[in-house]
Amino acid sequence: MMKQSFWALLLLLLAVPGFAQYQFTTEKELECTPIKNQQRTGTCWSFTTVSFLESELMRLGEPAYDLSEMYMVRKIYEDKAMNYLLRQGKANFSQGSLSHDVMRAFEMAGAMPESAYSGKAEGDAIYDHSEMESALKGMLDGLVGSKGLSEKWKGAFSAILDSYMGEVPESFTLGGKTYTPDSFAESLPINPDDYVTLTSFTHHPFYETFILEIPDNYSNGTYYNLPLDELQAIAEYALSNGFTIAWDGDVSEKGFSAGNGLAILPENENNPGMFDQPVEEAEVTQAKRQRAFESYATTDDHLMHLTGIAKDQEGQTYFITKNSWGEISDYKGFLYMSVPYFRMKTVGMMVHKDALPEDIANKLKL
């Protein structure tokens, strides 16, 4: 009787939502810096790519740096403003950008540590760019409507940024040395030319580059185009060999839950227990992925940092993913992205060119 009661209790507990849990075993975990929070801003692209660069510095033998995300954000706002005006308002001006824009900012304007530039005005407790974005765009739209531009607009634009983000110091001290943003970037073993962005879509030829048609690609960044199986192979090879990945994709799916620490693609997306224990996931083909992109079912929503590989209790593979929404969920700000989710919802990713398997690198002439 006692044995029957035990099994009845166990079955009851397993039926309770939240009791049966995903159980992950880490296979590869790469170094990364602590979780941060982008708060009320659309700057995941900078938080992700700066985190990626911090991991790259550690991979290259440097100590752990805390780089300023908002310095890169500010420089891209300035670059976007010029682009918007030159295109007479027929361009994207928003809080969003992409990983290659951080690399462009690094080349154009250097870098700074967080200790030198936080990107918060005095008295601000959190990041919030909503009002600032409206003020900046309102100014630009007014300028587009004018008959002629003087050079004074740049100073006025910078003054708005100063009000919301604080002034950028001309120089700063770190580790007993004084740097400018340019000299600091030059001191770091980061060569932007060593990094490539990759994607997989059939409306352009494979093994060639093209300008990916997403709204945040204001700078017309080019992507190497690969078959989906090879894009997945690069992700697995890179993480297995010590290279992290700056990932860009769609997080609007029912199977994405930062609160549960999961990004999955269930065959039945209305399964109420999909976050309680592993479920059957959809098979993702190249054609299915393409249809999702062309129908706007897959959009460029969010960037995150892939930092490792894990398996669940059923042997399915997941990518350990560092988010930028603070230390939420039982995984303290990290989440587990399944391979089917990666295959369907990856818009693009950035890696060091040495992270590509040799056969694929040869196809891309890298």
Structure confidence by residue, pLDDT tens digits, 5-50: 444 443 444 444 444 589 999 999 999 999 999 999 999 999 999 9
In a domain, 29, yes or no: no
Query: Do 270 and 186 fall into the same domain?
Result: no
Q: Residue 95: which of 61, 69, 68, 123 has the closest Cα? A: 69
In a domain, 290, yes or no: yes
Q: Which of 159, 190, 221 is the last residue of a domain?
A: 190
Q: Residue 40: which of 118, 130, 102 has the closest Cα? A: 130
Query: Do 186 and 298 fall into the same domain?
Result: no
In a domain, 28, yes or no: no
| Distance separating alpha carbons of residues 325 and 332, to the nearest angstrom | 10
| Distance separating alpha carbons of residues 81 and 97, to the nearest angstrom | 13
Query: Do 345 and 209 fall into the same domain?
Result: yes
Q: Which of 126, 155, 190 is the last residue of a domain?
A: 190
Query: Do 185 and 195 fall into the same domain?
Result: no
Pairing, β 262-263 against β 334-338: parallel
In a domain, 14, yes or no: no
CATH number, domain with residue 129: 3.90.70.10
Structure confidence by residue, pLDDT tens digits, 201-259: 999 999 999 999 999 999 999 999 999 999 999 999 999 999 999 999 999 999 999 99
Structure confidence by residue, pLDDT tens digits, 100-157: 999 999 999 999 999 999 999 999 999 999 999 999 999 999 999 887 888 899 999 9
pLDDT exceeds cutoff 50 at 4:
no
Q: Which of 142, 173, 190 is the last residue of a domain?
A: 190
User: Taking a C-beta distance cutoff of 8 angstroms, is the pair 276, 19 a contact?
Assistant: yes
Query: Do 346 and 304 fall into the same domain?
Result: yes
| Distance separating alpha carbons of residues 289 and 297, to the nearest angstrom | 9
Q: How many domains does the chain have?
A: 2
pLDDT exceeds cutoff 60 at 290:
yes
Domain containing 195 equals: 191-366
